[in-house]
Chain A
Amino acid sequence: MARDPKPTDQKLSHTAAMILQALDAGFVYGFSIMEMTGLPSGTVYPAMRRLERDALIRSQWERQSIADAEQRPPRKYYKLTAAGKSTLESSRKRYPLLERLIPSEEARTV
C-alpha cells in the first residue's frame, strides 16, 4: 500500500519536526519537550504517539529504583530511532531554521 513510504522520505509537519529536533537536542520526555517547543500537551503527546507508531522514536520506562530514590513517579523517556534521525536530517533541509530554534545538545555545550 502506498501509505507507508520509506521513513527518510516522510514529509513531517512542522510540529513533528520540532519534536524530533527537541529529542535530538536532549529533551527526552514530554514535559521538557513542551517547555522547549512551547507546544501544548494536547499537541505534543499525540504527536509523539504518531511518531512512535511510525517508528521514528521509541520509548522506554525509567527504572523504578531511580524514581524511588528521587521520591517521584517514574517517567517515560523517548529516543530517536535510526529512521527518526534520517527523517530529522531531511526535515532540517526542509525547515532550515529548525536547528537555530532548538540547538542540538553538542551545539549547546560548546
Chain B
Amino acid sequence: MKPSPRNLITHLRSLSHSGLLLGASLLVPANQRAEWRREWRGELWHVQQSCAPGGACGWQDERAMAAFCLGAFQDALCIRRSNFENKPFFAQSSGTPGRCLLALLTMLAAAYALALWLPGVAAERGLWPRKVSPNLVFIERATSHSLSAPSITPRQFRSWEGRRQKYFDAFAFFSVSAEQVASPSTGLDRKANTALNVARASANLFTLLGLSVHLTNPLLPDAMPEIVLSERTWKTQFAADPHIAGTIVRFVDRSARVAGVAPDGSLALPGRVDAWEFPPSAGQLDPPFGYVVAHLTDEGKAEMWANRVAINASQPDGTEDDLLGIAIEEWRPSPINLYLFAVLLGLLALPAITTVSLGESSLDSQQTSWWRKLVRWSFFSTKIGLLFPIIYFVSFDLAYGDRSLGREGAIYIQLISTFSLCLFGMRWVLKDQRQRCPVCVRTVCHPAHVGQASWTFLDWNGTEMVCMGGHTMLHVPSLPTSWFGSQRWLYLDTSWQFLFAGSTRPIP
C-alpha cells in the first residue's frame, strides 16, 4: 500500500519537529535532558493538535509549529546558561585572564592536534626537515619571465655537462610531456589509455635534489627505462598497490619498469608530474626544450644576488647566450617563510582596521602600581604569544588539510588565512586588552549606552562599562571628539563599595 501524500507530509513534518527538539536538547545539560525532552514532546503534541488537527494545515500553521520548535533552542540555552551560572567556578572565572588564556591554550592544542591528525599536514610536516640546498638553481633563458615554460635544449644541457665549469659542479635535465599508457599490464583497477604527465629526466636529478630514491636496476645502455610514480598517481591510477615496484608500464612507443613512488610535494619543481622516467642514457633525452637544475660551486654561490645569478654561456655553435639562475628556494617557499611574510603583512595592515592604542588613559590622576602594570603587560604578551602559534597551526591545517588543492593552492590558502587570522586575531587581542580593568585585568561588563550621537550636541555620548570587582569604570565615546578622543578609565573610590558587596575582589 502506498502512503498518501498527506500522510507523507505529516510524517515528514513530525520528523523535522522531532529533529529540531532533538538538536535543541543537546544543549541541555545531560542530567536534565530526558525531562526537558519529555516536556517539549508533550507540548509539541498539543501544538500539532491545535495547528493541524487532521494532519493537514496551511502555511501559517506550519510556520507557527516551526516557530514553536525553534523556541526550544532559547529554552535549552537558558537552562544551559543558568546551569553554568550556578557553578562557582564559571561564575567566578567569568572574564578573568586565566579563563582567556585557558581558552587560547585549548585552541592551540586543538589546532596542533588537528595538524598531527590530518594526513596532508603530516606529510607536509615530514618534508620540512628536508631543506632544499641553497646552492641549487634552475637555469632558464634571461628572456623567459617565469618557469612555466621550459627554455633549455637537451643539446645545451649535454654541452654544459660535458665541460668543466667554474660556477657549477652538477647539472640535471628534465622535460614534461603527456604520454598515453598504451595497455594495462598490471591487471589493476586502472583506466586503460590513461594520459600521464611524464617527466623524462637525467638519472642524477633525484640525487641532486637530495631525495633518497634508489633505482632498482643499474642504468645500463640497453636496460629498460625506470619510472618513479608520484604518490597521487600511485593511489588514483594504481589503487595504491603495495607491490607496484617492478611492474612494467607500457607507453605507446616504449615500456618502463616502476622503480618506486615519490611522496607528493617532495620535489620542488615546476609543473604537475605524474611519473618520472629515467632513460638509460642522457642521449635519449630528446624533447625540444626542458628544465635544467644546476648545483652552484662556492664561487658560483658568491655570485648570487637576491636569489638570482646572471649566467653568460657559450652555445655549441659558438654564440653567446644570456641565462638566469633562480634559486629553487625562491621557487618553492617554505611554509615558515610564507607564514612570516603573511604575519608581517597582517601587522602592517592592522592600523587600518583598529587603533593600536591600549587605551590606558584615565579621567583622574590616579595611576596603577608598577606591579599591576607588569601583570597587565605580561597578560598582553602571553595572549600574543599564544595567538601566533594558533595562527600558524590553523593556517597550516587549512592549507594542507586537503591535499587535492595542490601545492600552489595550498600556498595561496596559507597566505590568505595567515593574513586574515593575524589581522583579526590581533584586533581581538587589542580590543580585549582595552576592555580589561587596569587593576584586576578582568573584562569590564554591563555596558550602558549614554546619549545618542545623533541627538546630542556638545554633550558626552558613549558606552560605560564597569569592572565587576568594583575597581574601575570605562568610558568609551561613540564618536571621538577633540575633548574626548579615546576611551578613559575612572578609578572608583570606596564610596562605590556598597554596590559590589558580592564582588570576588576587594578594592585595593
Contacts and interface: CB of A to CB of B under 8 A. Distances in A.
A41 B75 contact: yes
A31 B39 contact: no
B395 to A, nearest CB: 38
Contact of B43 (A2, A3, A29, A50): A29
Interface stretch (A70-78, A85-93, A99-107): A70-78
Q: Which of A42, A43, A67 has the most CB atoms of chain B within a 10 A radius of its CB?
A: A42
Contacts, number: 70
Q: Is the interface of B mostly helix, strand, loop or mixed?
A: helix
A53 B70 contact: no
Interface stretch (B45-53, B180-188, B334-342, B418-426): B45-53
A75 B42 contact: yes
Contact of B38 (A35, A40, A74): A74
B78 A40 contact: no
Contacts of B134: none
B394 interface: no
Interface string A38-49: 001111111001
Given A1-B502, A3-B502, A42 B70 contact: yes
B46 A75 contact: yes
A2 B79 CA distance: 23
Interface string B260-276: 00000000000000000
Contacts of B74: 41-43, 45-46
Given A2-B501, A49-B82, A75-B39, A41 B46 contact: no
Interface in B2-59: 38-39, 41-43, 45-47, 49-50
Given A74-B42, A75-B39, A45 B75 contact: yes
A42 B38 contact: no
Contacts of A35: 50
Interface in B67-96: 67-75, 78-79, 82
A18 to B, nearest CB: 16
A64 to B, nearest CB: 11
A26 interface: no
A30 interface: yes
B interface bracket (residues with beta carbon within 8 Å of A)? 20 to 34
Interface in B482-506: 501-502
A93 to B, nearest CB: 28
B27 to A, nearest CB: 12
A44 B67 CA distance: 13
A2 B42 CA distance: 38
A45 B79 CA distance: 10
Q: Which of B45, B79, B82, B501 has the most CB atoms of chain A within a 10 A radius of its CB?
A: B45
B43 A75 contact: yes
A89 to B, nearest CB: 26
A49 B75 contact: yes
Nearest to A46: B78
Contacts of A50: 78, 82
B503 to A, nearest CB: 11
Contacts of A73: 38, 41-42, 45
Contacts of B41: 73
Interface residues of A, number: 24
Contacts of B43: 29-31, 41, 75
A40 B39 CA distance: 16
Interface in A18-70: 29-31, 34-35, 40-46, 49-50, 53, 67
A34 B75 CA distance: 14
B75 A31 contact: no
B42 A41 contact: no
A45 B45 CA distance: 16
A46 B75 contact: yes
B65 to A, nearest CB: 10
Q: Which of B43, B46, B69, B82 has the most CB atoms of chain A within a 10 A radius of its CB?
A: B43
A52 to B, nearest CB: 11
B45 A42 contact: no
A103 to B, nearest CB: 22
A67 B78 CA distance: 28
Contacts of A41: 43, 67-72, 74-75
A34 B43 CA distance: 11
Nearest to B499: A2
Contacts of B79: 46, 49
Nearest to A41: B71
Contact of B502 (A2, A44, A75): A2
Given A31-B46, A72-B45, A42 B82 contact: no
Q: Which of B38, B42, B49 has the most CB atoms of chain A within a 10 A radius of its CB?
A: B42
Contacts of B75: 41-42, 45-46, 49
Nearest to B46: A31
A40 B502 contact: no
A35 to B, nearest CB: 8
A30 B43 CA distance: 7
A95 B415 CA distance: 60
Contacts of B68: 34, 40-41
Contacts of A76: 38-39, 42
Given A29-B43, A41-B67, 4 more contacts: A31-B46, A31-B50, A41-B68, A46-B75
13 contacts: A1-B501, A2-B502, A29-B43, A31-B46, A31-B47, A40-B68, A41-B75, A42-B70, A45-B71, A45-B74, A72-B45, A73-B38, A76-B38
Which 4 pairs of residues, A with B, have the shortest CB-CB distance? Answer: A41-B71, A42-B71, A42-B74, A46-B78
